[in-house]
């Protein structure tokens, strides 16, 4: 099985990960110590349960930025961007993935994030942004104020939204991820 997206076929391994995103009910126990049946009775509707579980899992979704991880993140972010902007005028193949909070902490970033917080938030979906090729090449470890200026002129609306933040913190990452989770519910509809 392969997914067609933006004129290209997503590799089978990525498609399997996407299916995991689309059907996350088996990956989360929404009510601690409870079961799917308990939650279904509580919610009154199995479809509502899938909705709740999908959103809850998407809100904490993280993916290390390996080669396959980048492909998956680009697919997810491009799908969300397409839904957000309602435009097909840009090409997903011309986008790159930027860590807003960099892969490794330097002195400036360690003022906002401890090592433990960095490890917990760096690979969260809310910490990734789409950028045009060439724009993220020089960003690397730059402070958020520098990155913010580049994000503000991006063609991607979800990336421009990041520029509205005064700082980049764990709360901003979590808040952005919740926003992306709400948007994901409109992109991937559950059966």
Q: Which burial class, exposed, middle or buried, applies to 142 when counting CB atoms under 10 A from its CB (0-12, 13-18, 19+)? A: middle
A 10 A CB-CB count for 162 gives: 23
Q: pLDDT tens-digit profile of 46-103?
A: 456 666 777 777 777 777 777 777 788 888 898 899 889 887 655 666 788 889 999 8
Q: pLDDT tens-digit profile of 15-58?
A: 555 555 444 433 443 333 444 444 444 444 545 666 677 777 77
Confidence of residue 127 (pLDDT cuts 50, 70, 90): very high
Give every CB contact of residue 86 below 8 A, 6+ residues apart in sequence. none
Same domain flag for 42 and 105: no
Same domain flag for 53 and 78: no
Cα dihedral 106→112→118→122 (10° resolution)? -90
Structural domain span for residue 166: 67-187
Q: Taking 60 as the threshold, does the pLDDT of residue 190 lie above it?
A: no
Same domain flag for 77 and 44: no
For range 172-183, the mean pLDDT: 91
Please give the sequence-ordered ranges of beta strands (E in DSSP) within the chain, or none if there are none. 3-5, 8-10, 95-99, 128-132
Confidence of residue 158 (pLDDT cuts 50, 70, 90): very high
Same domain flag for 85 and 49: no
Alpha-carbon Rg for the chain, nearest whole angstrom, is: 17
Q: What percent of the chain has pLDDT over 70?
A: 68
| Residue 17 phi, psi (nearest 5) | -65, -40
């Amino acid at each position: 099985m392969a997914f067609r997206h933006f004129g290209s076929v997503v590799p089978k391994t990525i498609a399997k990960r996407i299916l995991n995103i689309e059907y996350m009910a088996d990956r989360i126990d929404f009510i601690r110590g409870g079961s799917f049946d308990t939650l279904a009775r509580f919610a009154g509707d199995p479809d509502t349960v899938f909705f709740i579980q999908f959103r809850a899992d998407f809100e904490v979704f993280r993916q290390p930025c390996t080669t396959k991880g980048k492909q998956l993140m680009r697919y997810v972010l491009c799908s969300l961007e397409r839904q957000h902007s309602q435009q097909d005028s840009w090409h997903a193949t011309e986008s790159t993935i930027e860590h807003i909070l960099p892969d490794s902490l330097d002195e400036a970033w360690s003022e906002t994030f401890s090592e433990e917080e960095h490890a917990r938030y760096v690979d969260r979906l809310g910490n990734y942004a789409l950028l045009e090729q060439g724009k993220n090449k020089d960003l690397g470890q730059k402070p958020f104020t520098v990155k913010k200026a580049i994000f503000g002129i991006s063609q991607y609306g979800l990336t421009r939204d990041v520029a509205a933040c005064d700082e980049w913190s764990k709360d901003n990452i979590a808040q952005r991820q919740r926003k992306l989770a709400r948007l994901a519910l409109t992109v991937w509809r559950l059966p």
